Amino acid sequence: MLTVVVSKKIKGSSIIRDEAEKLGYRVFYHENEKVPLNYDELGCDVLVQLDMLRHNDLNGFRNLKLVCTSMVGTDVQPIDELKKRGILYTNARGIFDIPISEFVTMRILEMYKRVRTFEDEQRRHAWEKRFDLYELYGRSAAIIGTGGIGKETAKRLSAFGVECIGFSKTGRQKENFKSCFPIENLEFKIGDFDIIVLCVPLEKNTYHLFDRDMFNKIKSGAVLINVGRGALLDETALYESLSSGNLFGAAVDVFEKEPLNPKSPLWKLENFWYSPHNSFNSEANNERMAKMIAGNLKSFRDGSPLHNLI
């Protein structure tokens, strides 16, 4: 009998547990990822986790053949070591594309329509019209990262009449973009864009992609949204660009060190929008995640191709 450990922290974990049992797996339902697996659990064939590998030595697993993870990024996972051991690894690519792209669109509209000022008026019971609201129509957007999140973001912004240009490792043309370029071209083109969206993976060449030099090249009055990884931005350079007024506004959902330091000067800026790594959340995620992982458990049992294999 195949054995699977299912982390309770996974979206839709109870559904995954039930489906695994229907598929004939022996299931261990692990309550707390920070608590190391016990001897029986370490004998599993499949590990369904968020970040459990950070709290367990790979050498302790006796039969592990597949890891299914509910995150998209691979920068904090031991991918190379898993490959060396012949352990398959799947991620959650595609699960969060819709909620994150909706979140990005919301943040841009919040800034352009100055929603924060109207919320303040409501608290003060004030009636003060504003005549400095902006339209999305006719704007240009640089979307750095043309995977699922980037494509869904471009789809939504294009519906508002925004010209979407993609930047990626290869520069290969992707659906919903007017054109795409290699990320190496970004510094030469970044000054053309009203909107900048970061949804690219964190890799050696994207660490602090937006440093002081890059921020100095952006178009005055641009807005920036980061839903990728915190380390894509140099937060000191971000603060300088926001406080100088060069950036109209920035919405940041991910930070280099989380949670964001309570003493960070970013908190006090009126043109800074914060969220606690929350853009991916949606009431629909549980069903999407459960369907994908349960499908992979069936495929693994049957020897069929896996979805989202890294």
Helix axes of 148-159 and 97-112: crossing angle, nearest 10 degrees: 40
Q: How far apart are the first and last CA of the chain?
A: 26
pLDDT over 90 (residue 268): yes
> What's the pTM?
0.90
Query: Of 167, 236, 230, 235, nearest to 195 (Cα)?
Result: 167
Specify the DSSP class assigned to residue 40: T
Residue 6: band (very low, low, confident or very high) from pLDDT cuts 50, 70, 90: very high
* Structural domains of the chain sorted by starting position, each given as residue range(s) with its CATH number in brackets: 3-95+283-302 (3.40.50.720), 97-274 (3.40.50.720)
Give the pLDDT confidence score for residue 3 in this predicted structure: 98
Q: For 13-22, what is each residue's pLDDT tens digit?
A: 999 999 999 9
Query: Average pLDDT of 40-53?
Result: 96
Give the pLDDT confidence score for residue 76 in this predicted structure: 79
Give the pLDDT confidence score for residue 67 in this predicted structure: 97
Transcribe 82-130 into DSSP letters. Answer: HHHTT-EEE--TTTSHHHHHHHHHHHHHHHHTTHHHHHHHHHHT-----
Query: Average pLDDT of 209-217?
Result: 98
Average pLDDT over the chain, rounded to whole? 96
Give the pLDDT confidence score for residue 166 in this predicted structure: 98
pLDDT over 90 (residue 11): no
Element (H, E) at 294: helix 285-302
Give the pLDDT confidence score for residue 150 in this predicted structure: 98
Query: Average pLDDT of 102-125?
Result: 97
